[in-house]
Structure 1
Amino acid sequence: MVGGALALGLAASAAVVGGGTALAASGGSGDSKALSAMAGSRTRDITLVTGDRVAVTTTASGRDVLAVRPASHAAGAGAFASFQDGSGDRYVIPASALPYVGRQLDLSLFDVSALVKDPSAADRVPVTVSFTAAAGSSPTAPAGLTLTSTTPAPAGAPAEQGVSAGGYATAGSGRQLARLLKQRIGADVKAGRRPGSTPLFHQVASVRRTGTTGTTGTTGTTGSAGTAADALRGATSDGYKLDILTLDAEDRSGAGATGEVLLTNTDDASVFAAVLPVVDGVEKVAVPDGHYSAAMLVPTYDTAGAVTAQSLVTRSDLTVSGATTEDLDARTATAAVTAATPRPAVADYLSANWARVDATGQTPVSYAPTASVTSTDGTPVYVNPQPAAAVGAVGYDAQWSGHAPDAGDYRYDLDSAASDEVSADQQIHVTSGQLAAVAARYDRDPASPADGQVTSGELTQNAPASFSAIATQTMPARVTDYLSTFNGGDWLQESFTGDLVFIGERSVLAGHGYSVDWARGPLALGLGRYPDTIPFGDCEACVAGGDLLAFLETTDSDAGHVGDPSVYADNSPVEQASLYRDGTLLDSEDGPGVYTEGQDTPGGRYRLVADRDAGAEPNVSQSTSSHTELTFGLPSAADTGSVLPANLSCAGQSDSTPCLILPLLTAHDDLATDGTGTSHRTDQRMGLEIGHVAYQGAGSRAAITSAAVQVSFDDGRTWQNASVTGSAGHYQAHWTNPAAARGTNPSIRVSATDADGDTLSQTVMHAYAVATTTS
């Protein structure tokens, strides 16, 4: 193929998947743009055409971290390739689909950046199928796809071009396509053919994501006006002299490889940075003379079509001067990503991540053109050793995660130190003193499935890794997670259970121990306290320039967590919020947040009311609904302790108008229950932490003056006062679970006040369960 890459400027490479939320840009427009920006889940799920899912989580720095969930647990089904091209778009491609990308499967089907912007992509992928003329006017739907409409070929179309059809693939139907891919590849390998030699679909020219024109496997940057037509004429309109670069690619057997290659101009990536198709071992592309790098992902398959290994083959430096031929040989990828851990562990996640920064140095490693291989099932990953770059820079790291043998109570999540070379030794060596030990407790609702998932990914601006290891976890559980700290020890972790995903970003130090509870109830709408880093970049409870926004999250017992509805919930919770000033309604929204302007007059008293009802979700039997009321006044501009840290933002903010954090009270309960929220005691205890929403230490300093707890054993018809001891925000509540409450779900109400008169009242219905026998 001769250089037909999309003309997308590298200036866009700082864009991330889904874009994050940009409240500062909303500027108090009066149309609730700020609230709308907050409304999306922190973690968004999209479905690939093969049925695999990708969870995309936005971090405080604006980076998006991907966790890939394979549709099948069959051997090799967890192998994926990924690219970030010169435009900043991220692609995730199942290794079994690579031989057909750029042939019958268009690269646009795997553009996670585009899919995450489509609200329907959590459940289905919209596709357009182009048929050959032989298919006739009523073509048969390809395996895994549902067709909903057909369009005749336009007048004057080539004779071989037939109708096109619109349709979709779902997570369930995509598994049919995944099985077909495996069958076709297995048949090719068994017959001694190159994988992908057999057509995937009969009488189909291409399948692409609806809304795209089709990229035939090519996307990226070719300068401000570079096009395939320019390349064929021998020079671009920018005046670059073009020469043909031939890339020869071999798989681990020495046969010609088919797949995708990332080619980047390392003098200036805005001149050329593209993902190109390699077919039967060869790619020819017209590029300007200069220095380049190349990275290709080459799977190995067995006769059943299963992926048995993945090779990330890179060339840090290539020089094009005249007609040039370079080699990408998977047989040189001899370094396996492994780990040596203090205690035995079995690998369940591997990744190798490689990024290329050009000589201009304008793009950070984390947003540079990137190639990665990931394995969510322990399928081996190999890389070829490469020295530090001669032009520009390379950013490389590897991640290894593993669990204790025989489903033990510990695991390791390790990220190698970011490096400017690809070392011949890819074993991550760690000692106990180099690890942080996090004692994690994973709870679940008794009505929810026991099979949950957890993710862990270390964040650093000096490495290209933007993936989280994902592992299945039977819940409830208590697991010690040993985390590496080679890149600063800032980890993004998530727990997926029932209808919720809880997200936390935590900084850890080597040799230190930590504890964390996930999804531990009672669960309610509220806010948290985020002492280190937070899994988002915008203030959720601030006022600036009269723009007031308060956006509540589902909270668990850990003040550093935020909770969102999971895409796997059968019925999302019904949420509603209203804001009053001195008894006058200012805003009412469907959702857990409010936004209003003109709130710069001091002296008013506000009341925020937020309700959450998850009663329609079959996986929920506890914390079925919550009612939260918060009263507060506006913080004073003289209150420097309430100024939002400079690395965060809010609506209405400007150079002369800082964001002030609202003095909203928070409550986090430590209820004495087992991992399913069930109490086995007659004498019930609950720790209670009352504070104010805080970001990296900033927030209201008003003293907490009182706290009270009430319990209802008759669905809220009557309430009994619990005994509460403690002070200054730290309390213990005690009450008795009577014999009549055995086998039922009592409700809990918490109230609190601070020295400024701000208050909290939070009611959680069916907050916990009482076992049928207690002691």
Structure 2
Amino acid sequence: MTTPTGPRPRSTLSSSRLSTTGALALGVLVTAAATLGAPALAAQETPPGKAVLEVSDTRTVTLVTGDRVTVTSRSGQPSVLAVRPASHTSGNGSFLSFQDGSGDRYVIPAVAQPYVGRQLDLSLFDVTALAKGTTAAGRVPVTVSYARGAKPSTPTGLTLTSTSGTSARGYTTAASGRKLTRLLKQRIAADVKAGHRPGSTPLFTGVTSVGRTGASTKNATAGGGASAKYKLNILRITAEDRSGAGFNGQVLVTNTDDATRMSVVVPVDDGIEKVAVPSGHYSLAAPVVDFDASGNVTAQSLVTLTDLDVTGATTTDLDARTATAQVTAATPRPATADYAAATWGRTDVTDVADGSIDWAPTASAVTTDTTPVYVNPQPAATTGKVAYFTQWSGHGPATGDPYRYDLAGRLSDAVTADQRITVTGKQLAAVRQRYVRDPAASPDGIITSGELGPGLPAAFSAAVPQTMPARVTDYLSANNGGVWVQQSFPGTSLAFTSGDRPFTAGRTYTQDWARGPIGLGLGQYTRGPFGGSDCSACLADGNLLAYLSTTDSEADHDGGPSVYDEQPAAFAAQLYRDGTLLDDRPGNTAVYVDGQTAPDARYRLVADQDFSGDSTLSQSTTARTELTFGLPSANDTHSLLPAPFTCEGQSASTPCRVLPLLTARFDLAADDLNTSHRTTQSMGLDISHVTFGGAGSRAAITSATVEVSFDGGTTWQKTALHGSKGHYRARWSNPASARGSSPALRVTAADADGNGLTETITHAYSVAATTS
């Protein structure tokens, strides 16, 4: 029986906040998930009085099974997760997920579910904690506990580094995790063949548990539990899979009067769990997995119970056989499913009353292949509210006209008996996607898509393989407002994320990914960079923050390393005021200082990114951006940051203003490997200011130059530049001596207020060995 203790605070989605550490040192948490994989700005050893900056953004973590999850946070909480199975062979593409009352999210490969809470601790799958950690080369640190008297041995898929008594420490990697997955499937297959419940056979001999090093045990609880100050009742939960047998897994139990009283993931052992809970109203959610005799997943069932009254000893049943509604789609053109998900979010009475939409806790069933996902019909909530929605993605046949569908079902407070997403061509937006890659990169890329909308629970996005380069028409639904976020992992250690983009049904759009030259700068964000509403180039109450990210040709794309601890990338940023160094941040591309109120001060920001040590990149290997600027005027209404954007120091008396920083976007005439086959080269150039919701400097762009170097930056030659007001086209010649090489580019620009930009990119593009 599980008796959770210690209620946790309600999970809230707060904006960035300023706090003090030590006597004078300031600590700033800036949620800048806009930059997928941009260098994390970790707190450093800092003298008193100097700002310490920490940025929470998107990271890719490796699970003990070798699978990978890209975690993107909004205001410090996980928002969208893209799962990438270690293998796309049968039975390896299914996952389940929970988010507890504290906001931590757990992603569990379906093949591991029968052993989670038994020999595999739930902490191993806490992707929130994994994303906050720093480990070498994608390793997951683990601690192994042995039974008393058992001889310590090395479990399959683990590497041990030390042993002491009845415990040992070590780690897993992506490669070793695949060995663990094979063992899991073998054990499950043996159980199914013997007529036993999957997970009945011990995974490791003599091992009581394997958990993440440094984590408290999660086998009993994952989230807020019931406090001793409440009178407790015994809730008996029974659960069956689709064959009618009791299953080994987990169930999410939530108090819908007040989730801080109890929000807990409890283990179900042989189809039964008893948990002590306060009297009140509850909801239950359990992703149930079924297996065949080969250990492959044959189905997932997200079984939920919207309302349950507990006033004394209570028994309830979660039966996967009641999950009769399959998540499917009817599309205008033929398509084969490559992703399906059902997500159940549950709020309590307090959330509904105060209008907050954090939708914690949640439970999801996700498949990245053709494995079916089923749900059981449930009415609308009578206590609190349900936020339930589905997503389905599929690709068309391998023809000369590649296309795919990314569809989301309508957000609902009820689970209906019909889970088919039906759309017509008029209900879809067509996005012509151009996926570019570096010549040195692998052609095996990944793309993701997820719809965002008011009230949608923190959810998964479809992550599917995509051979690159490629041109694909992506049809997107608009059932929940049509705001989508998409990502591209173009076979390199770089990845790019779009801003929150609204797509209107019936319209056609174009979008390029990783199209070079790849630079370092800012952008124009209609609804904010992906990951939240925090301004990454703003000033309020003397607090000045500027955060640069890796850029491609799209104005609202941000990029950076997709797996931090495995990439040899280097970053640096410095901020000067009137020639005096104010902030110096090795390893970062952002600066933060407070006390900036002098209206006539002149600033210079220098930021560097260096991917020259990365074998997956041969182009745009380094970039340096220098920005000169002044503070926005108190009379400049155009720079006032609009809602819902926020920034540090903002209040009713101290509004936030967007800094007048210049940024460049390039439109190079090249193929889908960023390679030019031309003797006469051309490139479009847009010079503008960073904007958020349209707010930003309106100063006219007064000058621009483009220079090219064919000798690594030793000498430069100006190009012919035509255009005005920030819109230009440059032309130059690729000489015969440049064939098979990668020239450098340098762009300079200025506006009428004296703000300036210089951006230098080495190996900016490739010149083909033969040109025309």
TM range (shorter): over 0.9
Partners of 1:548 and 1:32 in 2: CA distance: 14
Does the aligned pair in 1 maintain the 2:707–2:717 contact within 8 Å? yes
**Unaligned ranges ≥5, structure 2:** 30-40, 44-52
What residue number does 1:488 align with? 481
Shift of 1:364: 4.3
What residue number does 2:406 align with? 413
What residue number does 1:380 align with? 372
Counterparts in 2 of 1:569 and 1:618: CA distance versus 1, 3 Å: farther
Partners of 2:745 and 2:245 in 1: CA distance: 67
Partners of 2:136 and 2:294 in 1: CA distance: 30
What residue number does 1:232 align with? none
Does the aligned pair in 2 maintain the 1:747–1:768 contact within 8 Å? yes
Partners of 2:622 and 2:233 in 1: CA distance: 66
Shift of 1:676: 0.6
Does the aligned pair in 1 maintain the 2:19–2:28 contact within 8 Å? no
What residue number does 1:573 align with? 569
Q: 1:441 aligns with which of 413, 430, 434?
A: 434
Partners of 2:580 and 2:691 in 1: CA distance: 27
Counterparts in 2 of 1:754 and 1:772: CA distance versus 1, 3 Å: same
Q: Does 1:369 align with 2:361?
A: yes
Partners of 1:62 and 1:252 in 2: CA distance: 34
Letter in 2 for 1:382: Y
Does the aligned pair in 1 maintain the 2:19–2:26 contact within 8 Å? no
Partners of 2:566 and 2:360 in 1: CA distance: 38
What residue number does 1:58 align with? 73
What residue number does 2:47 align with? none
What residue number does 1:43 align with? 58
Q: Does 1:308 align with 2:298?
A: yes
Q: Does 1:504 align with 2:498?
A: yes
Q: Does 1:641 align with 2:638?
A: yes
Counterparts in 2 of 1:204 and 1:530: CA distance versus 1, 3 Å: same
Q: 1:149 aligns with which of 162, 182, 185?
A: 162
TM-score normalised by length of structure 2: 0.92
Partners of 1:683 and 1:570 in 2: CA distance: 39
Where does 1:350-361 land on structure 2 (aligned, <5 Å)?
A: 350-360=340-350, 361=352
Q: Does 1:277 align with 2:276?
A: no
Deviations along 1:257-312, one digit per CA (max 9) or x if unpaired, are: 11101122223323322111111111122323333221111111011101111011
Q: Does 1:297 align with 2:279?
A: no
What residue number does 1:190 align with? 193
Q: Matched residue of 2:132: which SS?
A: coil
Q: Matched residue of 1:133: which SS?
A: coil
Q: 1:221 aligns with which of 219, 224, 227?
A: 224
Does the aligned pair in 1 maintain the 2:11–2:358 contact within 8 Å? no
What residue number does 2:32 align with? none
Q: 1:333 aligns with which of 323, 332, 346?
A: 323
Partners of 1:313 and 1:212 in 2: CA distance: 29
Partners of 1:109 and 1:61 in 2: CA distance: 20
Q: Matched residue of 2:685: which SS?
A: strand
Partners of 2:220 and 2:94 in 1: CA distance: 19
What residue number does 2:511 align with? 516
Does the aligned pair in 1 maintain the 2:7–2:262 contact within 8 Å? no
What residue number does 1:229 align with? none
Counterparts in 2 of 1:757 and 1:140: CA distance versus 1, 3 Å: same
Does the aligned pair in 2 maintain the 1:612–1:625 contact within 8 Å? yes
Partners of 2:761 and 2:252 in 1: CA distance: 52
Partners of 1:293 and 1:602 in 2: CA distance: 56
Counterparts in 2 of 1:548 and 1:22: CA distance versus 1, 3 Å: same
Q: Does 1:680 align with 2:677?
A: yes
Count of aligned positions:
744
TM-score normalised by length of structure 1: 0.92
Partners of 1:463 and 1:221 in 2: CA distance: 22
Partners of 1:734 and 1:575 in 2: CA distance: 31
Of residues 703-712 and 663-672 in structure 1, the stretch that sits farther from structure 2 once superposed is 703-712
What residue number does 2:462 align with? 469
Q: Does 1:556 align with 2:549?
A: no
Q: 1:90 aligns with which of 94, 98, 105?
A: 105
Where does 1:571-650 land on structure 2 (aligned, <5 Å)?
A: 571-590=567-586, 591-650=588-647
Does the aligned pair in 2 maintain the 1:23–1:649 contact within 8 Å? no
Deviations along 1:705-751, one digit per CA (max 9) or x if unpaired, are: 12111112222222222111111111111112222222111111111
Does the aligned pair in 1 maintain the 2:20–2:26 contact within 8 Å? no
What residue number does 1:701 align with? 698
Deviations along 1:373-419, one digit per CA (max 9) or x if unpaired, are: 00012211011111112332222111001111226511111110001
Deviations along 1:68-102, one digit per CA (max 9) or x if unpaired, are: 11112111111111111222221111111111111
**Unaligned ranges ≥5, structure 1:** 153-162, 227-236
Partners of 1:365 and 1:324 in 2: CA distance: 30
Counterparts in 2 of 1:62 and 1:167: CA distance versus 1, 3 Å: closer
Partners of 1:640 and 1:63 in 2: CA distance: 34
Of residues 418-427 and 54-63 in structure 1, the stretch that sits farther from structure 2 once superposed is 54-63
Partners of 2:136 and 2:613 in 1: CA distance: 23
Partners of 1:569 and 1:355 in 2: CA distance: 32
Does the aligned pair in 2 maintain the 1:569–1:617 contact within 8 Å? no
Does the aligned pair in 1 maintain the 2:241–2:321 contact within 8 Å? yes
Q: 1:171 aligns with which of 161, 164, 174?
A: 174
Does the aligned pair in 1 maintain the 2:10–2:259 contact within 8 Å? no
